[in-house]
Amino acid sequence: HYVHVPASAGASLPPVVFIHGASANLKDQMLPLRPLLEGRAEMLFLDRPGFGWSERGGNDTLAAQADTIALLMDRLHIGKAIIVAHSFGGAITTAFARQHPDRTAGLVFLSPASHPWPGGATAWYYKLTAVPVVGWLFSQTLAYPAGMAQIGDATACVFSPNKVPEGYIGNASIPLVLKPSAFRANAVDVAQLYDYARSASPHYREIKAPTVVISGDRDKIVYATIHSVGLQRDISGAELVWVHNLGHKPDWIAPDLVVGAIEKVAGAPVDLQALAKTVEGRIADDAYNDGKCPDIKVPDAELAPT
């Protein structure tokens, strides 16, 4: 399931393909970013296999999802594109860039997940749902009511310390992830992330596309000092843009900075650090849900499995 926005006669940017993160669907990037790029670029927003209204098919690995996205680009005659990835979508994008370098015009990572973290821990319900039979029963019976009871608080922590946009949960169709099939797909994806990152990250140096990484220093979902710093270190020439007091959602809180990053990897002389300062000025006083959603800390390296 996808939304394809063809290029207009005045398009000045290469095609842009958007890859959403865990627990999301194509609307999560389309709603804030499409209006800013309309008429400037051909755009492809897609529900990753198993999410939103896409069926899972044989796409249980990150590599398979990357290949399926490339096949969709073939169908739509998109030869080469800038890939914009949020959160878990960052890991899939590293697979895409390695498996399809000829299709990769540039990379923009937003609060990405990409590298192994000490301990490799994820939420208990991901592990439970990924277990055969028991996980199926959980996703079919308890996941929806339990998830709906927690969805407001969980969303607040995704955005914190920034404010959740009015109507975000409904407008972005976030409850779609609680469909039993989507819930299981999400769990299978997250459960394999650590092993993927351990095996794939030593090869990120093979990625040669122009790259920008945008992260907030108040991200409460992923360890930005591991993932974002790691991408800057491992991808030659990558630019890391730190934004003070930004949480996990640059696509919604700093869409102008995201567009600037797209322009930068397309070759425009954009000062992303100056743009980041502008964003910081807008959100300097944000402190939403700080008490409810504490900053995450990198776990002790001794917890890492051998």
Q: pLDDT grade, residue 124 (50/70/90)?
A: low
- Tell me, what's the pLDDT at 262? 98
CA-closest candidate to residue 192, choices 144, 146, 111, 127: 127
What is the rounded average pLDDT for all residues in the chain?
93
Coil, helix or strand at residue 241: strand
Tell me which DSSP letter residue 18 carries. E
Q: Which residues pair with 18 in a beta bridge?
A: 45, 84
- Tell me, what's the pLDDT at 122? 79
Segment 135-192, tens digit of pLDDT: 767 677 777 777 888 899 999 999 999 999 999 999 999 999 999 999 999 989 999 9
> Which distant-in-sequence residues (6+ apart) come within 8 Å of 176 by Cβ?
25, 51, 52, 53, 182
Coil, helix or strand at residue 137: helix
Q: pLDDT grade, residue 296 (50/70/90)?
A: confident
> Which distant-in-sequence residues (6+ apart) come within 8 Å of 237 by Cβ?
210, 211
Contact 224, 215 (CB under 8 A): yes
CATH no. of 2-303:
3.40.50.1820
CA 27 vs CA 19, 175, 190: distances in Å: 11, 12, 20
Q: Would you kindly state where each structural domain of the chain is located, as residue ranges? A: 2-303
Asked whether the predicted pLDDT for residue 89 surpasses 70, the reply is yes
Asked whether the predicted pLDDT for residue 295 surpasses 90, the reply is no
In the numeric block, which tokens belong to residue 286? 């944000």
Q: How far apart are the first and last CA of the chain?
A: 40
